[in-house]
Structure 1
Amino acid sequence: MSDLQLLDPEILPPGLRDGHVVVGNFDGVHRGHQSVIRQAAEPARAAGRPVVALTFEPHPRSFFQPDRPLFRLTGRDEKARQLARAGVDATVVLTFDCARSTQEAEDFVADVLVGRLAAHTVVVGWDFHFGRARKGSPAFLAEAGPRHGLYVEVAPPYGGSTPISSSMIRDHLAAGEVLAAGRLLGRRWILEGEVAHGDARGRDLGFPTANIRLPPETRLAFGIYAVRALVDGRIVSGAASYGRRPQFDDGAPLFETYLMDFSGDLYGKPLRIELVSRLRGEEKFVSVEALVAQMARDVENARAALAAPEDPLAPSALA
């Protein structure tokens, strides 16, 4: 498995040319996205061809609607990791800017899919659109591809009468329904960030935490979570709080993780954390002593949740 990323390449390395290319935004790389990748990967492997994912940064919606910040399920690096986990050999990231947004669909096929990627086969989801004014529909691509020497396949909706979507997963996370979100993703949801200095209040209370400031558009429900974190190559159990700390300052949201049976300096290091279950909502207690007592119970409840059998529909994805 490789999470190789190529940013705005003019031409692909020889080993990635003449491959099967999947195209999409792929936010979350959920089970619907994975079905598109499988449709491309299975015949590609049989023919000895590479599988390449083509995606865009920033997310096109963020470009067109900057006043409506988008809750991203996966940043660029995490998306590449999950695309690799789903069977992709390399991820090509195209910058989505004014020039890209006004590019005609026909030119996108000729310049990008044929010119830059030298694709043999292109696979897109049933609802994917591209090009100026979104004129590049799956039907357009199916008609235009052969004229440019491309084989084209359109993957059908995945998930029955209500196809799985990134928006559905965002809504589950906003409601604190991390197991439901994980089942649509096909794995536990992972957040990532750099450990930042805090006010050391957790250490003073007996529960030192690694603190991550998530993007302000994150819609994860405030509360206490049982989590696992990837720390220096090993997986560590934890209990995390996400919220505004109403007991103290009611400040900007912060994701604070108490790592069980761990000691070490993590400041400035990247941390990947997967949510296993939500234990309770964020609360304000009658006293700091009552809060500390609840924190001890939260750690024990997190241990119990993490010791439960793995959900086969939402397994760990940290390793």
Structure 2
Amino acid sequence: MIRARLHENWRAIPEDARGCAAALGNFDGVHLGHAHLVHTLHTARPDLPLAVVTFEPHPRELFRPQDPPFRLTLSAEKLAALEALGVQHVFQIGFDEAFSRMSAEQFVGDVLFSALGLRHIACGQDFAFGHRRGGDVTFLAEQAAELEMGFTPVAALADAGGPYSSSRIRRLLQDGYPERAAEELGRPWFIRGEVQHGDKRGRLLGFPTANIPLGRHLEPARGVYAVTVRLPNGQTRRGVANIGRRPTINDGQESRLEVNLFEFDGDLYGQTLSVALHRMLRPEKRFDGLEALKSQIAQDAMQARSALDDELSAK
């Protein structure tokens, strides 16, 4: 597989990274709609290196910092997903106050054309850019023509429910349907983070857990999930996870991800895990004491094994 190169300083692009065909957008989730955009661009210009122009942080994080975390993919996850699509260069533009004030004309001329040296660009019909979103697809087509850059507008990929979108996938996860979100992503959705020390209560219950903060990831529906976990050594283990605030223990802390790996005995503290959600088993609920909770966790683990077995047999 071609390794994607990440370029984070748009003012200092190496010469061998210029002359690409690039798809433009935020690419949160890198879902099937994004894949359609990238593949359409590559079909239009197979003679040019394939690239993506994206932004970090997501503009919404800058303009609406009070919003709850909403990201489907962070920078490293996005890079890996784009690499899997055959993208060779990812131009990740730092989106700050100064950049947000850049006019639409400056973005096309100074950034895309002069700084990145793009020869062809593509975007979805709803792409907007520049100060106060002053540029749209029509404006982009006109500017590209003046600068003699090729341009391909790409209609959104859609199904019976409408266009594929990051917003639609977020709603599916928040409603407790990770398996449906996976269909639109083209892969299971996962939360990636570093294992932190917890209160060791899971170990006392007989189900030791790895505790991972949600960080900037979207918080999906609170409850119990059948999961698979990718370890730093590349191994994948099955498990059961809880996402929520642990109402039985009532610790009053922020929501967290706690995952129990089946048939695993090892020290994971400080390691980075990727926890893929496959199916929601039940909503979060309060139990009458730790014994009742312990009994339910055992049932959850059995149900998670069954759900993962069913998924494997269906493939």
What TM bracket, shorter-length normalisation?
over 0.9
- Write out per-residue CA displacement over residues 96-138 of structure 1, whole angstroms, 9 at most, x where no aligned residue: 1122111111111111111121111101111111111212101
Q: Which runs of 4+ in 1 moved over 4 A?
A: none
Which residue of 2 is the match for residue 137 of structure 1?
Answer: 136
Letter in 2 for 1:82: A
Q: Does 1:181 align with 2:181?
A: yes
How large is the Cα RMSD of the aligned pairs? Answer: 1.8
Corresponding residue for 1:65?
Answer: 64
Cα distance in 2, alignment partners of residues 264 and 72 from structure 1:
30
Q: Using the TM superposition, give the Cα deviation of residue 249 of structure 1 relative to its aligned residue in structure 2, in angstroms.
A: 2.1
Structure 1 residues 309 and 247 mapped into 2: Cα distance closer, same or farther (>3 Å)? closer
- Range 7-16 or range 280-289, more displaced: 7-16
Matched, 1:299 2:301: yes
Letter in 1 for 2:275: I
AA at the equivalent of 1:306: L
Q: C-alpha deviations, 1:178-226, integer Å up to 9, x for none? A: 1121112121111111100000001111111110011277331111001
**Inter-partner Cα distance in structure 2 for 1:160 and 1:169:** 13
Q: Distance in 2 between matches of 1:308 and 1:263?
A: 25
How far apart in 2 are the matches of 1:268 and 1:143?
A: 51
| Aligned pairs, number | 311
Alignment of 1:1-319 (within 5 A): 1=1, 2-44=3-45, 46-47=46-47, 49-160=48-159, 162-215=162-215, 218-231=218-231, 232-251=233-252, 252-310=254-312
Q: Describe the SS at the equivalent of 2:163.
A: coil
Pick closer, same or farther for the CA change 1:76–1:89 going to 2, 3 Å: same
Q: Distance in 2 between matches of 1:178 and 1:212?
A: 18
Alpha-carbon spacing, 1:134–1:216, altered in 2? closer, same or farther (3 Å): closer
1:113 counterpart letter in structure 2:
L
Query: What TM-score does the superposition give when structure 2 sets the normalisation length?
Result: 0.94
Classify 1:36/1:217 alpha carbon distance in 2 versus 1 (closer, same or farther; 3 Å).
closer
Using structure 1 for the length normalisation, give the TM-score.
Answer: 0.92
Shift of 1:309: 3.5
Does the Cα contact within 8 Å between 2:19 and 2:117 map onto a contact in 1?
yes
Spell out, residue by residue over 1:263-312, the C-alpha distance to the aligned partner (whole angstroms, 9 max, x if none): 21111111111111111111222232221111111111111111123599
* Structure 1, unaligned runs of 5 or more: none
Cα pair distance change 1:42/1:182, threshold 3 Å: same
Deviation at 1:89, TM superposition (A): 1.1
Segments of structure 2 that go 5 or more residues without pairing to the other structure are none
Q: Is the 8 A contact 1:41 1:88 kept in 2?
A: no
Q: Secondary structure at the match of 1:258?
A: strand
Q: Give the conservation status (yes or no) of the 8 Å contact 1:29–1:185.
A: yes
